[in-house]
Structure 1
Amino acid sequence: MFSRTHAPSIENADAEAAYLKKFLSNKDENLFMGSFESFQSAQANAPKGLKIGYDEADSADALYSHQIYNWDYAPLFWLSDAMSAGHTSIFDLGGHVGIKYYAFKRVLRYPEQIQWTVCDVPSVVKAGERLALERGASAQLNFCTDFGRASGADVLMLSGSLQYLPETLGEILSQLAHKPKRVLLNITATHSHKTMYTLNSIGDAVCPYRIQFQDEILADIRLAGYKRRDVWRNDGKPIQIPFVEGGADAFYFGCCFDRVSA
């Protein structure tokens, strides 16, 4: 499970065994384990007996915090900028039950005609629709399971979700007939010199997890026809893959790109 360049010492072997036990019994921490050749390999090597992926997790009905964190302020700025420019269709890929819709609404004045669409797995979509009805948000907040509906959106936003998707952002954008005017990433797992694949425990399930070479992510967006507006690092949001070479060098970042007019 753990990738090494040399045989572990007895002390390291004991530490790895203790961490594996912690990973398998995890309920409320954001933990990472192992190094794999691909997204598919990570999924295939998930520990037996554990649920795999958000659609299998019991977390769809969990009450997520709508708190605004310090790493949210850069995307808040660029989302506000988009709305000020008249952009009203937001496609929130992997936005769970509308976490950022509710959180950002506390400080942003949404246009009356805003249409915020969250795309996620079926169990999460069902929970999100139920919550939107309860909170009277259904006129502005809707849900789907098809990321193809991002075609023609004013803003494509991915906040903490890209690393869970089997497709890279370049692959996602290439499948859209009409590319969004703005691409807004945040809390995106990345690495300064390579791409890594690992497993992430989300408490009641494990998910394959891609930590993509940052230069590759930025190049994919540029090649899709976008120009850079801003790039930032999400300081204060930790990520570490123990017992894996390079696992301490991963970090989270965000960026804003605008489509170049034809």
Structure 2
Amino acid sequence: MDLSHAMQGAVNWLAAVPVVKQAGRRASRRRFERNRDANLFFGVFDSFEAAAASAPQSRPVGYDNSASADLYASNIFPSDYPAMFWLAKSFSEGLRSVFDLGGHVGIKYYAFRRTLSYPQALIWTVCDVPAVVARGRELALARAPEGALHFTDRYAEASGFDVLYASGSLQYLPLPLSQLLSDLPRLPRRLVINTTPIHATRSFFTLNSIGTAFCPYRVQAHDSFVDSLIALGYEKRGEWENTGKAMRIPFEPAYDVPHYSGFCFDLKA
């Protein structure tokens, strides 16, 4: 028998022993609670509220705090390029308004303008929690004097926009995208969705440690996510994998997401 295979089998057997498994879970939970600079997950829950209730009391729950408002830089990552393709296509087709759902302080507006040719009449509105919106407006005074970048903390303002863009944000919302859209008087013409955790078969919640806070985290099953948007009158134009970005929940291998996903949907005429 191959020695390395035998050693791995022994490790797997030992990890399955109840007392060892419990000790490993406690150690993983301690690391999760003390995390300051990683993106970690813990637990599986049936609802957003249950995930929030499991959060340690040592830090805030959610992004609505000053520390979380200062988390991200305006960088372009390899996973951004499929979404950038659809945004560029949107601008070339005459679409002029973008509702950036969960766009933080406008990080993708600043990042993408280094590469994309923004139309002169562009309106780019970021929707996020109040603390993040306040920080975004403050930064925009110096960084976006051209006046195309706006902020709101109200989902309802997405009504009638040409493009709803959501990058790495749907997982943090207390309601699914289909429900948010169904409440709008006028649906956006195009949905560009990126870096979203989509599981092959399961819909569930976990708890995410972002270092500054703990966040309930939504994961949706592929078919139910796609079908919920088709039911609103959308058709899927594209789908892609964000390779290199995965989600692992300690001791819950059936709930791991091997890669995040992106989509483009257009509202049927």
TM-score when scaled to structure 1?
A: 0.93
Which of 47, 66, 71 lines up with 2:56 in the alignment?
47
Q: Distance in 1 between matches of 2:215 and 2:135?
A: 20
Q: Distance in 2 between matches of 1:50 and 1:254?
A: 31
Q: Distance in 2 between matches of 1:21 and 1:215?
A: 35
**Which residue number corresponds to residue 229 of structure 2?**
221
Q: Does 1:154 align with 2:172?
A: no
* Gap regions ≥5 residues in structure 2: 1-15
Q: Does 1:29 align with 2:4?
A: no
SS state of the match for residue 246, structure 1? helix
SS state of the match for residue 129, structure 1? helix
Q: How far has the Cα of 1:47 moved from its partner?
A: 1.7
Q: Distance in 1 between matches of 2:257 and 2:151?
A: 35
Asked whether the equivalents of residues 132 and 138 of structure 1 are also in contact (C-alpha less than 8 Å), the reply is: no
Deviations 1:207-253 (A, max 9, x none): 00011111111111111111111011110112111112513245310
Q: Distance in 2 between matches of 1:57 and 1:237?
A: 26
SS state of the match for residue 186, structure 2? coil
**Which residue number corresponds to residue 12 of structure 2?**
none
| Aligned 1:5-84 pairs, distance under 5 A | 9-56=18-65, 58-62=67-71, 64-84=72-92
**Which residue number corresponds to residue 188 of structure 1?**
196
SS state of the match for residue 90, structure 1? strand
| Aligned 1:73-222 pairs, distance under 5 A | 73-137=81-145, 139-222=147-230
Q: Distance in 2 between matches of 1:190 and 1:164?
A: 13
More displaced stretch, 80-89 vs 38-47: 38-47
Q: Distance in 2 between matches of 1:78 and 1:222?
A: 19
What is the identity, as a one-letter code, of the residue corresponding to 1:52?
A: V
Against the structure 1 CA distance between its residues 8 and 219, is the aligned structure 2 distance closer, same or farther, given a 3 Å change threshold? farther
Q: How far has the Cα of 1:138 moved from its partner?
A: 5.6
Asked whether the equivalents of residues 57 and 205 of structure 1 are also in contact (C-alpha less than 8 Å), the reply is: no
More displaced stretch, 65-74 vs 110-119: 65-74
Quote the RMSD (CA, aligned, Å). Answer: 1.6
Larger relative helix fraction: 2
Q: Does 1:233 align with 2:241?
A: yes
What is the identity, as a one-letter code, of the residue corresponding to 1:248?
A: D
Asked whether the equivalents of residues 190 and 250 of structure 1 are also in contact (C-alpha less than 8 Å), the reply is: no
Q: Which runs of 4+ in 1 moved over 6 A?
A: none
Aligned pairs, number? 255
Asked whether the equivalents of residues 202 and 255 of structure 2 are also in contact (C-alpha less than 8 Å), the reply is: no
What is the identity, as a one-letter code, of the residue corresponding to 1:32?
A: F
Structure of greater Rg? 2
Q: How far has the Cα of 1:114 moved from its partner?
A: 0.4
Question: Percent identity of the aligned residues?
Answer: 46
TM-score when scaled to structure 2?
A: 0.91
Q: How far has the Cα of 1:139 moved from its partner?
A: 0.3
